Structure formats: C-alpha cells, structure tokens
Amino acid sequence: MTYCVGVLLDTGMVFLSDSRTNAGVDQVNIFRKATVFERAGERVLVLQVAGNLSVAQSVISLLHDAIVAKEGAHLFNCHNMYEAACLVGAAVRAVQERDGEALKNFGVEFNPALILGGQIGSEPPRLFNVYAAGNFIEATRDTTYFQIGESKYGKPIIDRVVRRSTSIGEAVKCLLVSMDSTMRSNLSVGPPLDLIIVRRDELRVARHASIESENAYFRSITSGWSEALRHAFVQLPDHDWLGGR
C-alpha cells in the first residue's frame, strides 16, 4: 500500500509520500513514490504514484525516456501543466496497453493512481489527480488537495485544516499528522517519508527532505499530536447518559 498527498496553496505546493512497498507481509521494501522533473527556473513538476510498483515504475520510465529521446511532446517541452497531465495520462494508457491484459490474466488489478503538481513558466502552479484510465481532474479553490492510496485514515485532519490560504509550514505539519494517523492504522504505509516543497514562481524544488521515523521534528509532531488529542478529548463536555447511576 501507499499513501501520498499533494496540496496546492496560494504560496506553493507540498507533497508528502511514504515509501513502503509490499508484496505480502513478508516482502516489504523501500521505494520512493515521488519523482521530480525539474528544469530550474523554467519548470518544476512532481509526480507521485500509487498502485502496482511495476506499473508505477513503467510510467516514470516512459516519461523519462520521452525526455531523453527529445522527440514529440514530453514533460520538458510541453507548454503548460494541462499538457503535462495529458502526457502522464498517455503514459498510463501505454503501460495499460502493454501490460493490462497479462496482469488481468494473473488476477492483478491495473490500478495506478497519480498526483501531478507543478508550475511551468508564467502559468500559476496546478495540481492534478490522474486515474488508471489516463483521465484526470484538477484541484480547485474548493478542493485544494489530492490523496492517493490509503487515504481514509488521514483525510479528516486535512479536511479540517488545509485551505488554499494555509501557509506552507502549516500544510507540512498537517500532512505529517495525516501520515502519522495513516501509518498507525496501516502497517503497509511506512517511512522514510518523502517531503517535497515547491514555492510559487520559483520554478524549482525549494526543499526535498527524507524524513526517517527517528527524525526529531516528526517525532515531536507525532507525540505532540497524541498528547494534544487526548487533552482535547478530555476537554469535551460530559453527558449523564445513565441518569446518575
């Protein structure tokens, strides 16, 4: 399993992904789920992929190869993020055409889910959620984030905290809390965490950090949040459901 989340803010974008991949509980490995395509000063794109690892890696390889081949449209010559999302969707479809039938014969679902965010030139930063069919939706002011993979445990806190106007620091904090809730509930989501921060109009990655479970700040967030939740819970009003019995 995987948990990735990408957020579009007024001041930039934040991406957080786990890196645990498992084929059964006895084959657990570390694979990064976020890839950066950057031409500093001109464009920066971040792609997170959840689902079958072979599919995810093939999609990334095809996108890379197209850049290297310098033929036709690719992520380094497309004119805007919409075109980039179309290219990612096309790569997903290419892998589906090649591997889909064979996977199906082995009972393996073709289920990649992708988040693509970035900024190209003078266009504002944009964030997309690309589906297994290669179609995609874009974040709006009302829905400013996307999750892929094991999304439910960590969704409530994002819904309550993150808005387009949220600062980058607050968003990072919120995504770490969301990831912590997910990791506590699903063993197949695990560290190290990949944190990528892009500031608006910088057209490069501002920070790419690998956060291990012993990272001091992450620990302060997880233990602080546990304590804060218990404290918040105790403060909630009581009710006498049993009439004084």
The contact set with a second copy (CB under 8 A) reads 152-153, 155-157, 159-161, 168-169, 172-174, 177, 181, 184-185, 195, 197, 199, 206-207, 209, 217, 220-221, 224-226, 228-233, 235-242, 245
CB of 161 to a second copy, least distance (A): 6
Shorter beta-carbon distance to a second copy: residue 140 or 226: 226
Strand partners, 129: 115, 137
- Helix and strand tally (H, E) in the chain? 5, 12
Shorter beta-carbon distance to a second copy: residue 41 or 169: 169
Shorter beta-carbon distance to a second copy: residue 53 or 206: 206
Length of the chain: 245
CB of 103 to a second copy, least distance (A): 22
Q: Please name which of 50, 24, 17, 51 lies closest in space to residue 191, comparing C-alpha atoms.
A: 17
CB of 135 to a second copy, least distance (A): 21
CB of 124 to a second copy, least distance (A): 20
Q: Say which residue the tokens 């403060």 belong to.
A: 235
CB of 27 to a second copy, least distance (A): 24
Shorter beta-carbon distance to a second copy: residue 63 or 221: 221
Structure tokens at 127: 């964030």
CB of 215 to a second copy, least distance (A): 10
Shorter beta-carbon distance to a second copy: residue 148 or 197: 197
Spatial separation of the C-alpha atoms in residues 93 and 65, rounded to whole Å? 16
Q: Please name which of 68, 42, 200, 59 lies closest in space to residue 130, comparing C-alpha atoms.
A: 59
Name every residue whose Cβ is closer than 8 Å to that of residue 200 and which is 6 or more positions away in sequence: 10, 11, 12, 13, 119, 124, 125
145, 139 Cβ separation under 8 angstroms: yes
Spatial separation of the C-alpha atoms in residues 124 and 68, rounded to whole Å? 26
229, 184 Cβ separation under 8 angstroms: no
Q: DSSP class of residue 39?
A: E
Shorter beta-carbon distance to a second copy: residue 133 or 228: 228
